[in-house]
Amino acid sequence: MRISSLAILTFLFIVGACNRDPREKLPQTGSFGNSKTTSSELGSIPISALDTLIAANQEIVLEGKVQKVCQGEGCWLSLERDGKAPVLIEIKDKAFQLPSKIEGKTARVNGILTTDSSDKYSRKILADGIIIE
């Protein structure tokens, strides 16, 4: 039995289309989410200064090196902290996606600092916007 060339091409097209991650089309650097992240009004703090912030539910802009990024939906990342647990950054309401290959890059995150002593990430940020450099 002979399979037509059209059937083979159709099959290859479908397989190729299903295997593509739409986040591969996203730029690996730039602004994601709310452009307020670039605002100089808020300034930014280095991740090493995170422990000096005591109050939760305050808006901050935090800058640090990306340790990991969600490989599923692109809805979170973690920032490295010297000798301490990383800081989890969750995308608020999954409002935008992050590129999949940003480990090791610098991220500037605008969001609300939250605390939860029962969570392994005792401090996390619900991000409105992120700049990847």
Per-residue pLDDT at 2 exceeds 60: no
Residue 17 neighbours by CB distance under 10 Å: 8
76, 109, 74: which is closest to 90 by C-alpha? 76
* Owner of token pair 């029962």: 118
Tell me the per-residue pLDDT of 81-90, one tens digit each, with 9 for 90 and over. Answer: 888 888 899 9
SS3 80: coil
Q: How far from chain centre, in Å, is Cα 95?
A: 11
**Per-residue pLDDT tens digits for 33-83:** 886 655 445 567 777 777 766 666 778 888 999 999 998 888 999 999 888
Domain assignment present for 2: no
**Model pTM above 0.85:** no
Q: Is 104 left (phi over 0), alpha (psi -120 to 50) or beta?
A: left
Q: Is residue 48 part of a domain?
A: yes
Tell me if 21 is assigned to some domain.
Answer: no
Is the pLDDT score of 105 beyond 70?
Answer: yes
Report the CATH number that the domain containing residue 98 is assigned in CATH: 2.40.50.200
Q: Tell me, what amino acid is at 14?
A: I
Residue 56: inside a domain? yes
Any domain includes 19:
no
Domain annotation covers residue 22? no
Q: Between 73 and 122, whose confidence is greater?
A: 73
Report if residue 124 sits inside a domain: yes
For residue 40, give its domain range: 27-132
Question: Does a structural domain hold residue 10?
Answer: no
- Which of 36, 78, 94, 95 minimizes the C-alpha distance to 60? 36
Per-residue tokens: 13? 């097209």
How many structural domains are present in the chain?
A: 1
- pLDDT value, residue 114: 83
